[in-house]
Amino acid sequence: MNFDLSDEQKMLAEQARGLLGERSTPDHLRSLIESGAEWDEPLWREIAGMGFLGAAIPEEFGGLGLTELDLGVISEEMGRANVALPFFSSIVLAADAIRLTGSAAQKAAWLPKLASGEAVGTFAYVEGAGGWTGPALKATFEGGALNGVKTPVADAGVATVAVVLARAEGKPALVLVNLDQPGVTRTRLDSFDQLRPHYALTFANASAELLAGQAIEELFDRAVVQAAFEAVGGADACLTMARDYALERAMFGRPLASYQAIKHKLADIAVALELARSNAYFGGWAAGESPDDLPAAAAAARLTAISAFERAARENLQVHGGIGYTWEANCHFYYRRERTLAISLGSREAWADRLIAHLPGTQAKAA
């Protein structure tokens, strides 16, 4: 047993942290929002050049062929910098769906473009208040035509391709659709996280194709592991922000950080964060090396990461006091991103159910 990142993974993390931290500063993020920008396109081009987009895409399709855990290392840094990039939509969801379920032709058509950043992908699964599983799923795919409304869909404004959950022959299925066609209408919505804009996508006889394989559950499992890494990065950033502010701010003649009420609050976050990070590591390892363990590992990573990020984002704002409620103080970026991650890809209850349903697999390792 060796349960630590490798030296190469630590270097990758450092490289990503250095670049994203330098480019994705709070001031820069604020200016993106104020200018109405859809995303940080220059940074997208830059990280594409560094190979981050193709990290987990096979070499034959223009990627680096690295592991899920390597991708997790990058996802964590995306969360720490709270980036205005469609990395999660395009790489973690769309590219992974195509890599996991696409035919050779589908992979060849899209993976090289997604790896290079030339194309951006997204994943459209929700249908507004009506839900998105079981009988609630209304979008249909029939005879090569996609019909229905998916909303909200993250990053659809800049996406060129979407993987869409639709009903095909009565069953939920993954469908691949090029968004640059007359049958697709995109409507920008009032998004809670301004750095991750959401859209309504309307498909009216849009030309689409079924993905060859249909591993919907596995796709969700793999994606929530990456979302857990992103949440861990965000939680870590909040903890550091709160700690740094508490050290510099004095009250009643002593640093805020010297009060036990503050110390214990941050210690609790540190514990929740390390448990979550450990689950994310196991999830990343299981996704690549031990598929039988993945469903429970993914669910556990999801539950702990969201609860750590939720706590960290809330308490970071609280430690900052009134300043925390100002636009300039930056706490709100994480406060909004946290809810975005918590709600995307299913509720706390749904992942709790998945963990309980997959208990036997969790016991197998020790045997």
Partner 1 sequence: MDFNDTPEEAAFRAEARAWLDASAPAHEVPEGVKLDDADEVRRGRAWQRALYDGGFAGITLPKALGGRGGTVIEGVVFAEEEARHRLPKGPYMGIGLGMAIPVIGKHGNDTQRARFIDRTLKGELTWCQLFSEPSAGSDLANLRSKAVRDGDDWIVNGQKVWSSWAHESDWGILVVRTDPTVPKHKGLTFFVVDMKTPGIEVRPIKQISGASDFNETFLTDVRIPDANRIGAVGEGWACCMTVLMGERLGSGSSKSGMMPIIEYAAATPRGAGTALDNSAVRLALAEALAEERGGKYFEARLRTMVSRGENPGALAGMVKLAYAGRQQRALGLAMEIRGPEALAPSAGDAATHDLQYDYIWSTVMRIAGGADEVLKNQIAERVLGMPGDVRFDKNVPFDQL
Which positions lie near partner 1, rule CB under 8 A? 1-6, 9, 69, 239, 243, 246-247, 254-255, 257-258, 260, 262-264, 266-268, 270-272, 274-279, 281-282, 284-285, 289-290, 296-297, 299-304, 307, 348-349, 351-353, 355-356, 359, 362-363, 365-366
To the nearest whole angstrom, how small is the minimum distance from the Cβ of residue 331 to partner 1?
18
Q: What is the DSSP string of 210-222?
A: E-S---HHHHHHH
Dihedral sign computed on CA atoms, order 340, 343, 139, 103: positive
Asked if residue 117 lies in contact with residue 44, where contact means CB atoms within 8 angstroms, the answer is yes
The smaller minimum CB distance to partner 1, of residues 239 and 341, is found at 239
The smaller minimum CB distance to partner 1, of residues 135 and 360, is found at 360
End-to-end Cα separation, the chain, in angstroms: 15
The smaller minimum CB distance to partner 1, of residues 196 and 243, is found at 243
* Cα gap 342→83, rounded to integer Å: 17
Dihedral sign computed on CA atoms, order 16, 19, 20, 26: positive
Q: Is 122 helix (H, G, I), strand (E, B) or coil?
A: strand
Dihedral sign computed on CA atoms, order 143, 148, 151, 155: positive
| Nearest alpha-carbon partner for 211 in 108, 96, 90, 101 | 101
The smaller minimum CB distance to partner 1, of residues 219 and 266, is found at 266
Strand partners, 301: none
Dihedral sign computed on CA atoms, order 293, 294, 299, 302: positive
The smaller minimum CB distance to partner 1, of residues 105 and 267, is found at 267
To the nearest whole angstrom, how small is the minimum distance from the Cβ of residue 347 to partner 1?
10
To the nearest whole angstrom, how small is the minimum distance from the Cβ of residue 214 to partner 1?
27
Tell me 136's DSSP state.
G
To the nearest whole angstrom, how small is the minimum distance from the Cβ of residue 109 to partner 1?
33
The smaller minimum CB distance to partner 1, of residues 12 and 246, is found at 246
To the nearest whole angstrom, how small is the minimum distance from the Cβ of residue 281 to partner 1?
6
CB atoms closer than 10 angstroms to residue 38: 13
Tokens linked to 226: 């990456």
To the nearest whole angstrom, how small is the minimum distance from the Cβ of residue 216 to partner 1?
21
The smaller minimum CB distance to partner 1, of residues 121 and 346, is found at 346
To the nearest whole angstrom, how small is the minimum distance from the Cβ of residue 278 to partner 1?
4
Strand partners, 185: 202
To the nearest whole angstrom, how small is the minimum distance from the Cβ of residue 313 to partner 1?
17
Tokens linked to 23: 């480019």
* Cα gap 286→283, rounded to integer Å: 5
| Nearest alpha-carbon partner for 192 in 316, 339, 342, 79 | 339
The smaller minimum CB distance to partner 1, of residues 104 and 271, is found at 271
